[in-house]
Structure 1
């Protein structure tokens, strides 16, 4: 137990520590950046680091448990959630708030001269879906992982880790915009990767998990929802619904960006509303 608490404490230090380290380093490199720019890029860099860790853990768990998707075990399925998932989700709510605060603070908004309950309330209202998504993961995924799955389903927990694969591409898109590279070929290629990885790992992944479950029990895909407890279907729906919503926003912005790029009247400043502005990953 003491070792688990030590590792949990380590996770609680890693992400805030990286965030504040980036906040100190970036202004020395990009001297013209505002506080809002520094906080945004720092948040995105930490998100990418966590996403790389989660994706790696997910790949290890999935590859280790694909033989028997119900009963095969891997220690990372539980311990990654405890060690790094919970600390990251908690930290990220705080980092998102700081990004929100400084975005309006540098613009001189009267309510954002200092932190207050009003700025917190404004953040929660503006980013309600993202905050709800983070809280749901903390209050649903954590108890399910620790207490309610009866040491089964590590494969599916690993699949959920893989949803983070799109996060580095989303973050890179915002960083490229910050570097005024929104018209570069790299930004366009990255936009395509955002759409591809988001669809594959945040939407198509769910029918894939249902299919793997059905294959294990020898039942067709359409019968799987009726074979699962209602709570499992509701939990998956709660996770999937915002992903579909964000993917639709991504597609709309991608289409608008494509239309502007084909229009002779399009200007570089118009293209700054890039495809990756639609989504913030967990």
Structure 2
């Protein structure tokens, strides 16, 4: 699968550079920071579509939720490794531009100031990426003993909400936060996030219960403890982020949003 890893290493940074160049040409009034921000959101959306599509293919192909195999379940893990590395750098780059625009950096403090901003404001997302790279990826590739492709596919489907989240941020960046499109997209963010990131975990337990003919409430006691711990660890930040999305949705539908670009 090294060729898949190499393909991802070329695809995601290459797509970012292509989007950034196109944005600079088509939107000359935008700053470098604006073009970079738009490009990262496009790349995130593309990755979300690819991951969700792969997940749907795997789920529909695996009739036995424990033992059936599909090559995409493992292949996409290799493909997502470079994306996670790229996205960590993209997060840092966003904070670098933010600090630069606020003119709070001097020649010696570019890296440290941007890193401090990243750790303060995006710490949970950074931890999320690091955990995926250091824990979930090794489990998915080497420790799960070639079983559970169905559940790997379910985790890919969680990315279905990403394009809607990214579109919402792009609309704010384009000063369209008061538009009907932004409100409709906000509803789609809530629905897709709830279904694909919150309901996803009960669905996996339900699928297991149907496969082995046991009541749903007995499933947590019928699978290894580490599976329950892993599911809870993945679900916990999803609940927190969904709570944040609900708070933003209340502000969106209660009154006009603030104008100005989202940095």
Aligned position for 1:196: 191
Deviations, residues 67-110 of structure 1 (Å, cap 9, x unaligned):
2111111000011111x111111110001110111022112123
Residue of structure 2 aligned with 1:93, choices 88, 93, 98: 88
Aligned position for 1:16: 13
Alignment partners' CA distance in 1, 2:106 and 2:13 = 26
Alignment partners' CA distance in 2, 1:113 and 1:15 = 30
Q: Which runs of 5+ in 1 are unaligned?
A: 262-267, 278-282
Alignment partners' CA distance in 1, 2:142 and 2:90 = 29
CA contact (8 A) 2:96 2:111 kept: no
Q: Secondary structure at the match of 2:67?
A: coil
TM-score scaled by structure 1? 0.88
TM-score scaled by structure 2? 0.94
Q: Which runs of 5+ in 2 are unaligned?
A: none
Deviations, residues 137-186 of structure 1 (Å, cap 9, x unaligned):
11222112112222111110000000000000011111111222212211
Does residue 80 (structure 1) correspond to residue 76 (structure 2)? The answer is: yes
Stretch deviating more after TM superposition (194-203 or 234-243): 234-243
Alignment partners' CA distance in 2, 1:272 and 1:237 = 37
CA contact (8 A) 2:99 2:113 kept: no
Aligned position for 1:151: 146
Residue of structure 1 aligned with 2:240, choices 223, 238, 245: 245
**How far did residue 115 of structure 1 move?**
3.0
Q: 1:246–1:272: structure 2 CA closer, same or farther, 3 Å change rule?
A: farther
Q: 1:254–1:51: structure 2 CA closer, same or farther, 3 Å change rule?
A: same
Superposition CA RMSD, Å? 1.9
